[in-house]
Amino acid sequence: MSGPPNELSTSNDRTPPTNLFADRERPLMKSPGVLRFIDSQSNRTPHAPMAALEYVRRQAQISVEDCVGIFLHDQQERWVRGLGLPAEVYLRVLSERVAVVPESWSWEIVANEFALRQTCGNLAPPPEVEEFAARFPGLRDKLETEFPERISLSDMDSTKDFGKQGAADPVMDTYITPHSDHEVTTIELDDDSSMHILDGGYKQAQHSLLGHTHPFSLLPPSLVSKIETRLESVCFQPDEYLMRQGDPGTGLFIIESGEAEIHSADDNGQSHLLGVSTAKEILGEMSLLTDEPRTADVKARGVVQTKFLPARVFEEIASSYPVVSRVLTQLLADRLGQRGRDALTGKTLNEYRILKRLGRGGMAIVYQAEDVRSGQIVALKMMSHRLVYDAQALRLFQREARLIESFDHPNIVRMLGRFQAFRSFFIVMEFCCGTSLDEVLRSKGPLSDAEFRSAFAQLVDGLTYAHSRQVVHRDIKPSNVMRLSDGTIRLMDFGLANPIEDMPAGRQAIAGTPAYMAPEQLRGQVVDERADLFSLGCTAYRLLTGKPAFPQTTLARIRAAHARWEPPELADVAPDIRDFVRGCLQRNPDERHIDQDMIASWHS
């Protein structure tokens, strides 16, 4: 997976943070070959990263062990400065040296990225074991052993459907992972054959540029070859622009050699360095796919050799092979929303100027924005471009908009509008200046009895209102509950909500966050408001104890825990709170209940 260049930070003056993993004895980083590489880079400009990838490709005589040591140094410098590349980039270069990269070398690089992302603060998205396990399944056991404190189902992407459940329930034995970038997707072509996006990529021709450039490497070699015959060679001299912000998207570039800087100007004309693109990276797919003008300036640092795919040729190929559009759309989804500033930050869409990214999930990216007409600060929820070909995902996103649009309650986030732009869909919501309850738990620990009563009195009010409108939320959890600065609670993210009358009879796909699901929801059965009560109880337990009610890491184990489940005693909390939690956490839906009069007394 090549690094998303237009998401990169510009912080170059940071003191390198302690790398928890690299603090250990790392002989690979101290070999003479690695020291020679470091010396060779001493004359580079102050803001230029080490040219590790190009150095390794040019120096055929250095050992693979030295390559690993060089990459570990490169990771350290890049992630500290916000220019981090994913581990897959380094492993792909190693695979050019050896047919199979030994697991010990893969582990060094993967674990180093994990540790660096832990310690780089806001320069990098925080790592999760499940994210890395999805990317590197063979290293799951080592990841869970090395970083056990990160194992948690509470932050799992809840927008994933975990498969339709038949008699055998095969998916119950799989580990729970975030939305997967590595699924095999089949696209039917006009000639009735099928084309696959392959997990990990195909074995491509050795000298194929596209074949070793993500995401084209995920396509069959025969299709890659067809595309390469249509590429045009273009060379750029130092300081020459490959593309200018505001220009139409005439095509996309694949860098063969050299480096190019990406700058983006916001609506105030202020330019921001978004990152640096190097060999085997793609530029220009954003405007090509969205029909929007170029969102950034791209300028050659030195001589840059590229291959250019004109827009007219891309459209011709994509019309015959839709899978090409799909892989590039996934690349676009990867690049948007990964950090506080990306290609949309500072841009105005439908009279809303995007200020910064607030969060990103499997289905959507949320931005903070300003209504340029009134100055009001809002939250924009943009459907991920990853899902533009997913009719079911679009239906869920649009349904969430319709549901929130009809709600009017002080404890449910308010919707202010919706629009279509950037070849995606946006929901405009009130901006909640506060902290989600999972963030409160991480920063301050479990809630006190008084804090709990105040928060859950409001949360139950909002949930009861939704139930009165015949809507089941289906994803109650701490991260979907916001506490504002004045103590007001807002229930958010109705992306999985279902009107009760729309619930089909019989078994259906599982959707939600397993650690918070009611037993009947995890079995794929029809659910009603009582499933929300169980999720409410799991949320309460987590916020009172700091621990998940269901810490298991597979669907099968959670389901087994449900089979022998007894509500917890919670001896360390007040009797009224204990009764509330136990009333929610009954295995049998008919036995779940909450005392509305008692909860009403919790309002201060």
- What is the SS3 assignment for 465-504? HHHHCCEECCCCCHHHEEEECCCCEEECCCCCCEEHHHCC
Q: Are 249 and 291 in contact (CB under 8 A)?
A: yes
Give the pLDDT score at 194. Answer: 35
The tens digit of pLDDT for each residue in 520-571 reads: 988 878 788 999 999 999 999 999 999 999 988 777 888 889 989 999 888 8
Check whether 185 has a pLDDT greater than 50: no
Collapsed DSSP state (helix, strand, coil) of residue 94: helix
Joined tokens for residue 171: 């998916």
Q: What is the mean pLDDT of residues 254-268?
A: 87
Give the pLDDT score at 484. Answer: 93
Percentage of the chain beyond pLDDT 90 is 24
Q: What is the mean pLDDT of residues 246-272?
A: 86
Greater confidence (475 vs 128) lies with 475
Domains in the chain, ordered, with CATH?
5-151 (no CATH), 185-335 (2.60.120.10), 348-430 (3.30.200.20), 436-601 (1.10.510.10)
**pLDDT confidence bin for 90, thresholds 50/70/90:** confident
Residue 292: count of CB within 10 angstroms of its CB: 18
Give the pLDDT score at 440. Answer: 92
Joined tokens for residue 258: 């050299």
Classify residue 229 as exposed, middle or buried by CB count within 10 Å of its CB (0-12, 13-18, 19+).
Answer: exposed
- Look up residue 254 and give its amino acid: I
DSSP conformation class of 175: B
Q: What is the mean pLDDT of residues 58-85?
A: 79
Distance CA 531, CA 500 (A): 12
Among the residue ranges 130-139, 182-191, 427-436, the one predicted with the least confidence is 182-191
- If you write DSSP's letter for every residue of 511-537 in order, what string do you get? ES-GGG--HHHHTT----HHHHHHHHH
Classify residue 283 as exposed, middle or buried by CB count within 10 Å of its CB (0-12, 13-18, 19+).
Answer: buried
Long-range contacts of 147-152 (CB under 8 A, 24+ apart): 147/114, 151/553, 152/128, 152/515, 152/548
Distance CA 27, CA 289 (A): 45
Strand 282-283, strand 251-257: pairing: antiparallel
Give whole-number Cα distances, 570 to 412, 455, 544, 579, in Å: 29, 18, 9, 9
Query: Which residues face 273 on adjacent strands?
Result: 263
Check whether 158 has a pLDDT greater than 70: no
Among 8, 175, 188, 1, CA closest to 92: 1
Give the pLDDT score at 323. Answer: 73
Please compute Rg for the chain using Cα positions.
25
Distance CA 599, CA 461 (A): 9
Q: What is the mean pLDDT of residues 319-332?
A: 71
Q: What is the mean pLDDT of residues 47-70?
A: 77
Greater confidence (150 vs 404) lies with 404
The tens digit of pLDDT for each residue in 22-35 reads: 444 455 666 777 88
Residue 225: count of CB within 10 angstroms of its CB: 15
Query: Which residues face 367 on adjacent strands?
Result: 357, 380
Q: Are 515 and 555 in contact (CB under 8 A)?
A: no
Q: Tokens 């509008």 appear where?
A: 417
Q: Are 90 and 97 in contact (CB under 8 A)?
A: no
Give the pLDDT score at 598. Answer: 93
Give the pLDDT score at 307. Answer: 93
The tens digit of pLDDT for each residue in 404-418 reads: 788 889 999 888 888
Give the pLDDT score at 120. Answer: 63
- Look up residue 308 and give its amino acid: F
Long-range contacts of 444-451 (CB under 8 A, 24+ apart): 445/546, 446/543, 446/544, 446/545, 446/546, 447/543, 447/544, 449/573, 449/574, 449/577
Check whether 333 has a pLDDT greater than 50: yes
Among 234, 273, 274, CA closest to 252: 234
Q: What is the mean pLDDT of residues 502-522?
A: 70
DSSP conformation class of 85: -
Q: What is the mean pLDDT of residues 123-129?
A: 66
Check whether 508 has a pLDDT greater than 60: no
Percentage of the chain beyond pLDDT 70 is 74
- If you write DSSP's letter for every residue of 128-153 in order, what string do you get? -HHHHHHH-GGGHHHHHHHSGGG--S
Collapsed DSSP state (helix, strand, coil) of residue 425: strand
Give the pLDDT score at 124. Answer: 55
Check whether 4 has a pLDDT greater than 60: no
The tens digit of pLDDT for each residue in 190-247 reads: 232 234 455 556 778 888 998 888 888 888 888 888 889 999 999 999 999 999 988 8
Give the pLDDT score at 475. Answer: 87
Give the pLDDT score at 294. Answer: 85
Give the pLDDT score at 160. Answer: 40
Collapsed DSSP state (helix, strand, coil) of residue 247: coil
Greater confidence (550 vs 389) lies with 550
Q: What is the mean pLDDT of residues 269-273?
A: 81
Distance CA 463, CA 409 (A): 10
Give the pLDDT score at 217. Answer: 84
Collapsed DSSP state (helix, strand, coil) of residue 354: strand
Q: Are 556 and 163 in contact (CB under 8 A)?
A: no
Query: Which residues face 194 on adjacent strands?
Result: 188
